[in-house]
Amino acid sequence: MVLVIVLIVLIVGSVLFHFLSPWYLTPIASNWDMIDDTLTITFIVCGFVFVAINLFMVYAIYKYRYRKDRRAEYEPENKKLEWWLTAFTTVGVIAMLAPGLFVWAKYVEVPEDAMLVEAVGQQWRWTYRYPGADGVLGTVDTRNINATNPFGLNPDDPNGQDDILVSGPEVHLPIGGPVKMLLRSKDVLHDFYVPQIRAKMDLVPGMITYFWFTPTKVGEFDVLCAELCGSGHYNMRSRMVVEEEADFQAWLSTQPTFAQMLAGTGTASGGTLVEQGEQLARDQGCIACHSLDGGAGVGPTWKGLVGKNEILIDGSTVLVDEDYLKESIVNPNAKLVKDYAPIMPPAQLTDDQLDALVAYLKSVSG
């Protein structure tokens, strides 16, 4: 009898929790209402089955409770019941899966006038590329990736010269027009996910994946990585800014083209060395793992780092000076500090960029 009451409380509580809980979907900011609809259908089917099975258990526990004079009936086969259950389950599974197939077909059928944006994932940051005035993205090759060409564009491809490269932590989009997101990974599996857009897709090394959506709300949304990609995964974030066309164009014009980047006029041109270093630390994703305030992180904090004696993994000590910092940025595992895992990806930076980053490190070290 206790079990009957517990089950009824469980059923009523679960249904109430579903309707009263504050943890529900974030307000949608794209055209993908259909994705919400499929979620709702799945919820309804699963919810119905959950309630039905639990009510059946309540009924069975009560009806067939122990009585001294009652004997169980032996019924090894019930064809009619089996048919019913099979048909019922089939309908439920189809109701859950079929709508998803229709939505998926739409999800990868990109409108012809969609704007192209490429998101490039790497441990543990996002960068973005726009096709520029010609509307065509230049070809890329992993072998081209180096400090002055972090996107790996083919320098001989005329289509790539006007490509706009965004190293900062934001991707901007104009409201109201379809966007085709092209996804490329430099290292391992990642997943591009903006909860308010309802859209997500894996980035698979060696492949270019894609999906499309139309942003329908002005605002700033978190871009998350939704595929465990290493120890800095939780901090692999970026921001999607949806704005009016004019604001978008104004922002886009402040970002460097590939030609400017190759000429060395596009990167961190303005500001003091320390300011350039601060920009780099943000763009390169350093602060995802290194705190500035002494807090514990995946890597050593930068507060009070310069001039400190660090104990290395082999028990020896090293003075953290400019040479050590530069070596550790370019070749992180050469002299690994004790109690830290060998997980920092080597940074590809020019000598000027290294100087800027070290200048910034010294300034925040205090």
Given the rule CB under 5 A, which residues bind Cu ion? 190, 225, 229, 236
Phi, psi of 122 (to 5 degrees): -155, 160
Cβ 304 to Cu ion shortest distance, Å: 30
**Which residue type occupies 143?**
R
Count CB atoms within 10 A of the CB of residue 311: 12
Nearer to Cu ion, 184 or 190 (CB): 190
Cβ 183 to Cu ion shortest distance, Å: 11
SS3 state at 160: helix
Nearer to Cu ion, 122 or 267 (CB): 122
DSSP H helices, the chain, are 2-20, 33-63, 79-107, 245-252, 258-262, 273-283, 322-330, 351-365
Nearer to Cu ion, 46 or 228 (CB): 228
Nearer to Cu ion, 171 or 229 (CB): 229
Residues paired with 179 in a beta bridge? 115, 213
Residue 125 sits at the vertex; the CA angle it makes with 280 and 354, to the nearest 5 degrees, is 25
Cβ 205 to Cu ion shortest distance, Å: 12
SS3 state at 153: strand
**Which residue type occupies 250?**
A
SS3 state at 69: coil
Cβ 232 to Cu ion shortest distance, Å: 8
Cβ 170 to Cu ion shortest distance, Å: 17
Residue 225 sits at the vertex; the CA angle it makes with 224 and 227, to the nearest 5 degrees, is 145
Nearer to Cu ion, 191 or 278 (CB): 191
Cβ 108 to Cu ion shortest distance, Å: 22
Nearer to Cu ion, 190 or 290 (CB): 190
Cα–Cα distances in angstroms (integers) from residue 181 to residues 185, 200, 254, in the given order: 13, 10, 21
**Region for 3 from its dihedrals, namely left if φ exceeds 0, alpha if ψ lies in -120 to 50, beta otherwise:** alpha
Cβ 140 to Cu ion shortest distance, Å: 19
Cβ 324 to Cu ion shortest distance, Å: 29
CB 292 within 8 A of CB 281: no
Nearer to Cu ion, 161 or 284 (CB): 284
SS3 state at 235: helix
Nearer to Cu ion, 298 or 356 (CB): 298
> Could you tell me the end-to-end alpha-carbon distance of the chain, in angstroms, rounded to an integer?
68
Residues paired with 276 in a beta bridge? none
Nearer to Cu ion, 190 or 198 (CB): 190
Cβ 286 to Cu ion shortest distance, Å: 16
